[in-house]
Each structure stands twice: as C-alpha cells, then as structure tokens.
Amino acid sequence: MKALRSLLKSERGNVAVMFAISMTVLLGATAMVVDIGRLYHEKRILQNAMDASALAGAQGLLTSQARASTLAKEYADKNAFPIGSGDLTITSQSIKVAKESTVPMTFARIFGIQQASVSASAKAEVGLLKSVKRITPITIEYTAIPHETQLKCDNPGKNKGNCGYLDINSNGASGLATNIINGVELAPGTKFVQTEPGQKWGPVKNAFQTLIDNDATKPHCQSAATADKSCDRIIIIPLIKTWAGVNGKSLVEIVGFASYWLERVEDDKQIVGKFKETVSSGEIGGSGPGNVYGVKLVE
C-alpha cells in the first residue's frame, strides 16, 4: 500500500509537470498565432498605402519631382503611414516609396518580445500610353500637336470626305455622337483604324457640347491649367501618321495619343481648346508622339 501511494504521488507530480509544460507550449503557440497575424495585417495595409503613395507620386512627375514628392506624402498621410523625404527615391520617370512600421506585441511579451517591425516598398513609373481605355473617336495628324488649337471640319473634301472622325463601331452619325460622349476603347496594340467620312456636324457639335456642359459644376475643369482626367471636357484623341492616301472610308495608322481640353464649340464647325499633358488609364510603354501618360507599379 505504501508503495502504491508513493507511485500515485509520483504520477500526480508528473502530470502536474506535464500540464505546466503543455500550458507553456500552448501559450507560446497562441502568442505566435495572434502576433504573427497582427504582423501580416500590418504588412498588408502598409503595402497598400505604399502602392497608393507611389502611384499618386508618379502622376506628379509630369509637373516636377517636387510635385511628385508632395503627392506621395499626401497619400501616405491619408492612409495613416506618414513618410518623409528620406523615404522617397525619385527620378524623372519613377518614384519609389519605402516605409517601416513598428508593431507592439501582445502574447509574445511573455517571452520578452515587446515589438516587431514590418516594411514595405513600392515603385511606380510614368510613361507614354500605347493603349487607352477611353478615347474620343476623332483624330489629327501627329505633327499638329501642340501647335494646332482647333479641331476644324469646314472642308471635308480636303481629306477626301473626312472630317477627322474614326469609325469604331459607330454605325453613322448617332453612333459617332454616342462614342464621343462615352468614349471608346481600342485593343492594346491596335495600329490601324477605319475613318468615318462626312461632316455629321449637328450630332458631333451636340456631343462635344454635352461634354463641356457635364463639367459646369466642376470649378477645376473650367481651365486647361487645372483640368484633369476627372473632367469630361478633357478628351483623349488618337494621333495618326498621315491623311495622305485616305479616300472615303480608309484605314489610318495610329502612332500615339494626345489629351485635349475643350474650351468651346463654335458655329463655323470647329472645336476650340488646348492640348495638355495628362495622366490617363491604359497600358504604358508607348514610344510615339503624344502627351498622354499612364502610371503603373513596377515593384
């Protein structure tokens, strides 16, 4: 009996030791799961903030590197991860943003780990667009920018019946007007597009006036200097190589894109405005003429 009681005491002692060890392991595992989860969460939101900061900064590169820095900092602040000049690497075509964030630990403090760090970086580039998601189906020769400030159609006979319109599933005057208002998309790498002959001035005039009227309540859209891609009166037009050889419905070669701010539509069949540099949506990597740029994350 004495030996049995001694054995039971010994086993209870072993169980207590094993339980203590198990609880320690369990607490350690809990600490790892909870705190690693916090680190992953912080890493994710930090990366999203750096991506947004880099993309915003890249849009500012069209103005200056100083503007790119300002925009990158503003967007980082909006996402609750302030950055300084030391967190930025800027060139004429790219901007890189890097940030480290310290995360306080919870259960890991049991093991003396008070905090841990995560880091994220993002790099964005700006470049000429080689395809655009929303374009206006009217075109000019690339040599006309930025000197010409009028898109005029008083003499369609000059270009064998063409006024500069493109037939991208337009199906006549009403379809052309709809495409001017809504914009159309060209597949990446599209090189040739068919023209849409004729003046069609009534529907075309109304379509461009609609774009101008849509911006009536947007103060920043009233000037070419402050207008941006949020303004309907900023249109993106394809640039063609030449009108030479065009006769009626013909194929013309697209060599780039240009952005144009619509000032007004006049009764003598002309659209008055200004060409300007702008950032729009699309695939970058173009090498032809134009002033429409895009930004993309490269890291």
The answer as to whether 286 is a domain residue is: no
CB 283 within 8 A of CB 295: no
- As a whole number of angstroms, the distance between CA 157 and CA 213 comes to 31
- As a whole number of angstroms, the distance between CA 133 and CA 122 comes to 24
Backbone φ and ψ of 271, nearest 5°: -110, 125
For residues 121 and 219, membership in a common domain is answered with: no
Beta strand pairing call for 94-104 and 115-132: antiparallel
Q: 55: part of which helix (H) or strand (E)?
A: helix 2-60
Beta-ladder partners of 97: 88, 122
Tokens of 93: 């075509």
**Among candidate residues 45, 50, 69, 49, the one with its CA nearest the CA of residue 59:** 69
CB 187 within 8 A of CB 131: yes
Length of the chain: 299
For residues 138 and 269, membership in a common domain is answered with: yes
Domain of residue 42, residue span: 1-126
For residues 93 and 149, membership in a common domain is answered with: no
**Among candidate residues 132, 159, 155, 152, the one with its CA nearest the CA of residue 236:** 132
For residues 140 and 276, membership in a common domain is answered with: yes
pTM: 0.70
For residues 105 and 187, membership in a common domain is answered with: no
The answer as to whether 296 is a domain residue is: no
Q: Is the pLDDT of residue 4 over 60?
A: no
For residues 95 and 148, membership in a common domain is answered with: no
For residues 201 and 181, membership in a common domain is answered with: yes
Q: 252: part of which helix (H) or strand (E)?
A: strand 251-266
The answer as to whether 111 is a domain residue is: yes
For residues 172 and 94, membership in a common domain is answered with: no
Tokens of 60: 């500012």
Tokens of 120: 């994220």
**Among candidate residues 151, 134, 130, the one with its CA nearest the CA of residue 256:** 130
Among 31-35, 154-158, 250-254, 295-299, name the one with the lowest average pLDDT.
154-158
Number of domains into which the chain is organized: 2
The answer as to whether 259 is a domain residue is: yes
Q: Quote the percentage of the chain above a pLDDT of 70.
A: 83
For residues 147 and 115, membership in a common domain is answered with: no
**Average pLDDT along the chain:** 82
Stronger pLDDT, 203 or 30, i.e. the higher one: 203
Confidence of residue 21 (pLDDT cuts 50, 70, 90): low
> Using alpha carbons only, what angle is made at residue 278 by residues 177 and 98, rounded to the nearest 5 degrees?
135
**Among candidate residues 241, 232, 286, the one with its CA nearest the CA of residue 260:** 232
The answer as to whether 224 is a domain residue is: yes
**Cis before residue 146, ω within 30 degrees of 0?**
yes
Neighbouring residues of 110: CB distance < 8 A, sequence distance ≥ 6: 27, 28, 31
pLDDT, tens digit (0-9, with 9 covering 90-100), for 124-181: 999 888 777 788 998 888 888 776 677 776 555 566 667 788 998 887 889 999 999 9
